[in-house]
Amino acid sequence: MSSFSFANIALCAFAAATPDHVIKLDLSDRRIAKFAKQMGIEQVHLSISEQTPLDLGYVALTHALSQVKWAPTDLDLVIFATQGPDFCGGTGDASLLHHYLNLREDCAVFDLPLGCSAFPYSLTVACAMMECADDIKLVAVLNGDMIWNKFPNQEQLLAHKQHLFGEGTGAILLQKVTDSPAIKTKLFDNGHGYKQLFFYPSSRDLWHLNANQFKMPDGMKVDHIPGDITLNAYMDGMAIHEFSTTKIVDCIKEHYGNSIQDYDYYVFHQANKQILTTITERLGLDPNKVLVSLAQYGNTSAASALTTICHNLHDIDRPVHIFNASFGVGLSWGFSDFVIKPGTVSPIIATDHQLDEHRLKPVSEQ
């Protein structure tokens, strides 16, 4: 088991940004109202102007830096966890942040291709590097994802009625200190679960986009428009629900036992209301301590934990002990245990900000 404990690292700032465009679910439609009740979602923030995790991450990170009065050049390490970087290969979003923030050349930056389990994994990597390197003292970790690019165009996105996923990017700032509560994490994975949740076509399918159908790992056939590279989602709903409400719960019970009752608040991946309710009941937790952001922001994938923290804890007046469980595509999951201090969490920022310099545009639009 990958179990970690990090001393003398402080969580100095939490910030999150979402698109400022809000899509409210039409609750006058009985079918959509039923979906909204089951999922616990009333609205989502989605970009209709092609904002990416990078755009939102820039806003979240610059806000966090201003909160602690750090200059971008103070940073020694930047880690960006996302399934949707601006470039599909080569330059990562962390490198683009390096460019836009004009970071030092000796500031290490890299991306982690993680989805819903991004928070404990990226936090672990950041803390481990801080412990191993004397000169890595100030670190930024970003988690973010987008969904608009899974639709072929803006019209189809706006015509879609049952939105489960929202968009956002969160940022945390960490500092090496002499005295701070320990940050503890545990990481897990079951690679066989890739068959249950993924986007297609993948890079290795690009020579086969002239096909009318794709065959999924479970044998199911799905229709495809030849030449269309729009990303589509495949999910085995029953298997994912079982994984989230049984495997995750059993794993928490095994590794935490009765001590799981000892936390001030719980931050679970915001998969949907049904899953959150079942996890809460099976662990015997007080529902008032289980933080939720689904109604306002939906399932924000990699940004889920940070969106939930910023939505709920920006006005705390005392230190709070947090238990986090993040889980999803992979199948991968992880737990983290940490303390959040008053004055370190900012409310979520809704923004239309875009970084355009690196984007390719048709000549007709220039």
> pLDDT, tens digit, for every residue of 173-188?
999 999 899 999 999 9
Give the residue, 249 or 197, on which the prediction is more confident: 249
Tell me the mean pLDDT in the region 243-265: 96
Q: How far is CA 290 from the centre of its chain?
A: 18
Q: What percentage of the chain reaches a pLDDT higher than 90?
A: 76
> pLDDT, tens digit, for every residue of 74-117?
999 999 999 999 997 778 999 999 999 999 999 999 999 999 99
> pLDDT, tens digit, for every residue of 38-83?
999 999 999 999 999 999 999 999 999 999 999 999 999 999 999 9
Element of type H or E holding 158: helix 154-159
Does position 163 have pLDDT exceeding 90, yes or no? yes
- The structural domains of the chain, ordered by start, are 2-191+236-352 (3.40.47.10)
Report the candidate in 127, 68, 118 with the shortest Cα–Cα distance to residue 93: 118
Q: What percentage of the chain reaches a pLDDT higher than 70?
A: 99
pLDDT value, residue 321:
98
Report the candidate in 11, 18, 10, 12 with the shortest Cα–Cα distance to residue 311: 18
d(CA 37, CA 346): 29
> pLDDT, tens digit, for every residue of 277-301?
999 999 999 999 999 999 999 999 9
